[in-house]
Amino acid sequence: MSSTDNGLLTADNCAVIFIDYQPQMFFGVASSDRQDLLNNLLILAKAAKIFRVPVVITALESTSFSGNVAPQLLDIFPDHTPLERSSMNAWDSAAMLDAVRGTGRRNLVIAALWSEVCLVMPALQALNDGYAVYAVIDASGGTSTIAHDAAIRRIEQAGAVSLTALQVLLEFQRDWAFREHYDEVMEVVREHCGAYGQGVEYAATMVHRAPPHRRHDQSK
């Protein structure tokens, strides 16, 4: 990172990689609630979309084993085609490496299913290749809590940094005086961030006397 980043992730210094968000992989997750996992995935994806951060989406054996990438993720990035591969390690894929290099970014924010395989292997190799790796632990999941925790410890010991999806969103926003993406960020908070989102709604309606917030025109 440059000195002006002050050690923080910004929309201009990182890329986000989504690895194997497919039905068969979701089925195997036992380290966290799957709905919470999906929710955190969408926070991360919307953060990348809002702040125009380059993304890479990969898929493992879609037609023969894992199924199609989650439609909720594809809907956020309709112009992205998942990069198919056969290796459990996405870093083995030439298309994946080309896509990562094509972003021009050296800081990689990675989320994956499963943590102990599809997160660990590319994270370790990316570190070895000189990238900085940031693992989004609440948008990643393993086949057990033990497996997930061991995976995170392993990559942290190798030099990766753990963070959450909400951390990424708020780090990109950084300052509430920055108004360009303020409304979009607040929409994500309201929709996906539980009590925090309810607090935002309360402050808007009770403190600032805003009308009740509605995501869509219900008359349509």
Q: Which CATH number covers residue 75?
A: 3.40.50.850
Is the domain of 131 the same as that of 89? yes
Residues 52 and 87 in one domain: yes
Q: One digit per residue, pLDDT tens: the chain, 220 residues? A: 554 577 899 999 999 999 999 999 999 999 999 999 999 999 999 999 999 999 999 999 999 889 999 999 999 999 999 999 999 999 999 999 999 999 999 999 999 999 999 999 999 999 999 999 999 999 999 999 999 999 999 999 999 999 999 999 999 999 999 999 999 999 999 999 887 777 776 666 654 555 666 555 433 3
- Are 188 and 159 in a shared domain? no
- 41 shares its domain with 136: yes
Mention every residue, 6+ apart, whose C-beta is less than 8 A from residue 119: 19, 110, 111, 112, 113, 135, 140, 151, 155
First to last CA, the chain: 46
Q: What are phi and psi of 86, to 5 degrees?
A: -110, -25
- Report residue 146: phi and psi, to 5°: -60, -45
Our answer to whether residue 118 is catalytic in this structure is yes
The single residue of 55, 96, 118, 152 carrying the catalytic annotation is: 118
Domain of residue 190 covers 175-220
d(CA 64, CA 58): 15
Does 134 lie in the same domain as 61? yes
Does 180 lie in the same domain as 162?
no
* Total domain count, the chain: 2
